[in-house]
């Protein structure tokens, strides 16, 4: 099963839509927090504010950010639907038009409804986005208490959170969709954290009310804190659930086979992604060595929604995506600007609560900025993307993709494949039979340790078709060979005192 497979098909676009809708449900708060973190890292004061709606976080949420959030979702083709649009006269809405919970117990629950229209003005798709914690920030104390009450519902054997909080809204939504010729599978249901739990709860209960109209809806959660039934992706209700969860997010990580485990890493379930790590500022510190449970305050930094946006965008853009499965170990750079210059992004051993995957093959993914990426003993795939990156494969048969920028690529031990990408790059194969791959980018690239007769140079991506297209200038002493092809020059150290001649067998051509 591919990483984002859903209902038997590749679902990157569907997950992307769900992500956009989930982010909108926070009405600009998450954008502000993400920008603050990227520039300055996390202070505990900001983290507490993000989790519980203190004054620091409230200051980030204003009319300007809310309008920016609406502008962004409208650019994606979505239109926010009002109570009047749905014909739901009894609805309770806040100043953003967000639907509020319909019972006193769940009055602080929140959800947004949106739709996409075609060029003729016909509705083609509808979305229901459950908001997670932080409330409207209209009343910090009551909203926070309300969030706790909402969470307590999920400790019941059969939680009825969604149908009790939004029974009237869902009935109106069903009538609205039928009136516009839509069926249940035309609905995307999404949410983050508490909202992710609501997605799972609605999927689990979808055959129990409204004649099962929503059984075939697309249930795509983020950071879900609730496991329906036995954790299968297809539930007894007939609904299918996919939750994009980060391993070091303490909220989904509390879920274990024995109920709740407030101290450690989660169980792998069929419906979720359990081996994706956002390598942020806290992950490589001693503060995370207990596994980052919910009692570990700094670990909550991985829970904020912008981390899911970062992780999804990097994974879906990766050259390795096509080979990733639901069980793949993926480590993603989520460092702030303050730490990325001196922190290696890698799979780390968590001594007090082992992850179970340390030393296994992994995908280590960077960002558009300068990254330090390091593999371990497995056969790893490292990708730097843009920026001036430094990639080290270490042991194993690794694949290193530099991407754009002036990169340093070190294969280490094993038979490694090193791709230079755009930019002036410096490649070191290390021990083993290595393959050095180059594009035609008009830059001077360097191979520092080419072993003639064992290593090979792959020029197929540069469009070179034969040995005759190369201009080779070899020094007498020092081992260096200069190879010209197209607008490129490649300097190669043949690792001998006296230069060793290169032949056609040392190359791969298009």
Q: Is residue 310 part of a domain?
A: no
Based on the structure, what is the number of domains in the chain?
2
Looking up tokens 């300068």, which residue turns up?
370
DSSP secondary structure letters along 113-161: EEEEE-TTS-EEEEEEEE--TT--SSSHHHHHHHHHHHHHHTTSSS--H
pLDDT at 230: 81
Task: Tell me the three-class secondary structure of 28-93, residue by residue.
Answer: CHHHHHHHHHHHHCCCHHHHHHHHHCCHHHHCCCCHHHHHHHHHHHHHCCEEECCHHHHCCCCCCE
Q: What band does 500 get if pLDDT is binned at 50, 70 and 90?
A: confident
At which of 219, 244, 269 does a domain end? 244
pLDDT at 91: 95
Mean per-residue pLDDT of the chain: 89
Higher pLDDT, 134 or 330: 330
Q: Is residue 82 part of a domain?
A: yes
pLDDT for residue 95 is more than 90: no
Q: Exactly one of 2, 9, 142, 193 is catalytic; name it.
A: 193
Do 240 and 387 fall within a single domain? no
* Partners of residue 279 on adjacent β-strands: 333
Q: Is residue 101 part of a domain?
A: yes
Give this prediction's pTM.
Answer: 0.92
Q: Is residue 126 part of a domain?
A: yes
Q: Is residue 182 part of a domain?
A: yes
Q: What band does 380 get if pLDDT is binned at 50, 70 and 90?
A: very high
Catalytic site includes residue 224: no
Domain that holds residue 496: 380-508
pLDDT at 274: 84
Q: Is residue 274 part of a domain?
A: no
Least-confidence region, from 26-35, 82-91, 398-407, 497-506: 26-35
Do 238 and 387 fall within a single domain? no
- How far is the CA of 141 from the CAs of 30, 161, 291, in angstroms? 20, 21, 30
Q: What is the CATH number of the domain that holds 235?
A: 3.40.50.1820
At which of 201, 222, 244 does a domain end? 244
Do 12 and 156 fall within a single domain? yes
At which of 244, 266, 301 does a domain end? 244
pLDDT at 297: 83
Q: What is the CATH number of the domain that holds 501?
A: 2.150.10.10
Count CB atoms within 10 A of the CB of residue 332.
25
Q: What is the pLDDT of residues 417-450, one digit of tens each?
A: 999 999 999 999 999 999 999 999 999 999 999 9
pLDDT at 184: 98
Q: Is residue 90 part of a domain?
A: yes
Q: Is residue 16 part of a domain?
A: yes
Radius of gyration of the chain, Cα coordinates, nearest whole angstrom: 26
């Amino acid at each position: 099963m591919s990483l984002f497979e859903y209902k038997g098909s590749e679902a990157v676009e569907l997950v992307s839509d769900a992500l956009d809708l989930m982010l909108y449900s926070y009405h600009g708060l998450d954008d502000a927090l993400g920008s603050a973190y990227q520039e300055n890292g996390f202070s505990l004061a900001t983290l507490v504010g993000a989790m519980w709606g203190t004054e620091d976080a409230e200051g980030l949420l204003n009319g300007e950010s809310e309008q920016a959030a609406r502008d962004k979702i409208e650019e994606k083709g979505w239109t926010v639907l009002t109570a009047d649009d749905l014909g739901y006269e009894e609805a309770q809405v806040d100043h953003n038009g967000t639907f509020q919970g319909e019972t006193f117990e769940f009055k602080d629950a929140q959800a947004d409804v949106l739709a996409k229209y075609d060029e003729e003005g016909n509705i083609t798709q509808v979305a229901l986005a459950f908001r997670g914690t932080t409330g409207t920030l209209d009343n910090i104390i009551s909203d926070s208490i309300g969030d706790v009450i909402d969470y307590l519902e999920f400790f019941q054997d059969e939680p009825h959170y969604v149908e009790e909080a939004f029974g009237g809204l869902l009935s109106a939504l069903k009538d609205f969709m039928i009136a516009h010729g839509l069926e249940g599978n035309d609905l995307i249901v999404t949410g983050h954290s508490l909202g992710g739990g609501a997605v799972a709860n609605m999927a689990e209960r979808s055959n129990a009310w409204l004649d099962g109209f929503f059984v075939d809806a697309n249930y795509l959660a983020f950071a879900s804190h609730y496991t329906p039934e036995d954790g299968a992706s297809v539930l007894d209700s007939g609904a299918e659930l996919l939750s994009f969860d980060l391993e070091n997010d303490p909220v989904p990580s509390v879920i274990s086979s024995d109920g709740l485990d407030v101290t450690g890493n989660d169980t792998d379930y069929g419906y979720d992604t359990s081996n994706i790590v956002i390598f942020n500022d806290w992950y490589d510190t001693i503060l995370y060595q207990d596994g980052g449970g919910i009692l570990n305050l700094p670990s909550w930094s991985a829970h904020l929604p912008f981390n899911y946006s970062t992780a999804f965008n990097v994974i879906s853009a990766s050259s390795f995506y096509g080979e990733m499965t639901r069980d793949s170990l993926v480590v993603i750079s989520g460092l702030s600007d303050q730490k990325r210059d001196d922190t290696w992004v890698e799979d780390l051993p968590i001594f007090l609560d082992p992850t179970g995957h340390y030393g296994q093959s992994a995908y280590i993914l960077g960002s558009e900025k300068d990254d330090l990426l390091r593999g371990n003993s497995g056969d790893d795939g490292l990708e730097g993307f843009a920026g001036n990156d430094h990639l080290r494969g270490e042991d194993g048969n690794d694949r290193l993709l530099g991407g754009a920028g002036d990169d340093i690529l070190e294969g280490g031990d094993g038979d490694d494949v090193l791709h230079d990408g755009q930019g002036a790059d410096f490649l070191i194969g290390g021990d083993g039979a290595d393959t050095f791959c180059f594009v035609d980018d008009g830059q001077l690239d360097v191979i520092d340790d080419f072993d003639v007769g064992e290593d090979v140079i792959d020029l197929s991506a540069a469009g070179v078709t034969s040995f005759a297209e190369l201009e080779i200038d070899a020094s007498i002493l020092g081992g260096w060979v200069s190879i010209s092809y197209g607008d490129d020059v490649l300097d190669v150290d043949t690792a001998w005192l006296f230069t060793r001649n290169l032949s056609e067998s040392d190359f791969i051509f298009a």
